Structure 1
Amino acid sequence: MSDLGFLFYTYLFLINILSFGIYAIDKRRAHYHCWRIPEFVLLGLAVIGGAYGASMGMWLFRHKTLHRSFLITVPLCLVLWLLVLAWICYTNSPSV
């Protein structure tokens, strides 16, 4: 694997961990009626690569599951990022 590939996969891993953690923090703040993380930040994390972490945070914490914008944007971003990963794997696979 090239250095660029390693950096890309490391980025995706870290952004998904961050996204999952931010959803957990926002759910905790919602439970205690504290200051909340803006929705554009939560959705933005999914857009920039944290869609898997966001979807796992939504599912595990039952957070933002009734908001239409989240029910559309997060799964759409997840599918798009999976397509990007599939394309990268396909184009970088050795020829047979």
Structure 2
Amino acid sequence: MLDITFQFIVLYNVVISIITYYFYYIDKYAARKKRKRISEIKLLTLSLIGGWIGALIARSILRHKTIKKSFILKLWITIIANICIELVILNPSIMSVLKG
């Protein structure tokens, strides 16, 4: 049986990814209609806190935020940071290795 922490992280990531996808959708719609946009920092924060899967799906399906290289770099940094954080949560022994 899967560890409860792992189950929680999976469920959390699914929910936050759906929310992130929705934010990308709203931003894409706003861009098309020349309305107020969602800030990049909000989109990147959502990715950092676990919504990066939703961000990648939204970028692919909606063809949104696919050109600006600085945003793409920042997005990949948030993805790597989130994966590292989740690995430490799932395997606390990683911290003891990092501490020396």
Regarding TM over 0.5, the answer is yes
Report which stretch shifted further, 23-32 or 79-88.
79-88
Q: Secondary structure at the match of 1:36?
A: coil
Gaps of 5+ in 1: 92-96
Following superposition, the deviation at residue 35 of structure 1 comes to 1.1
User: What's the TM-score, normalizing by structure 1?
Assistant: 0.75
Number of equivalent positions: 90
Aligned sequence identity (%): 28
C-alpha RMSD of matched pairs (Å)? 2.2
User: What's the TM-score, normalizing by structure 2?
Assistant: 0.72
| Cα distance between partner residues in 1 of 2:14 and 2:38 | 21
C-alpha contact (below 8 Å) 1:29/1:35 kept by paired residues: yes
Aligned to 1:25: 26
Matched, 1:54 2:28: no
Report which stretch shifted further, 59-68 or 37-46.
59-68
Following superposition, the deviation at residue 84 of structure 1 comes to 5.6
C-alpha contact (below 8 Å) 1:55/1:74 kept by paired residues: no
Amino acid at match of 1:39: E
Following superposition, the deviation at residue 79 of structure 1 comes to 4.2
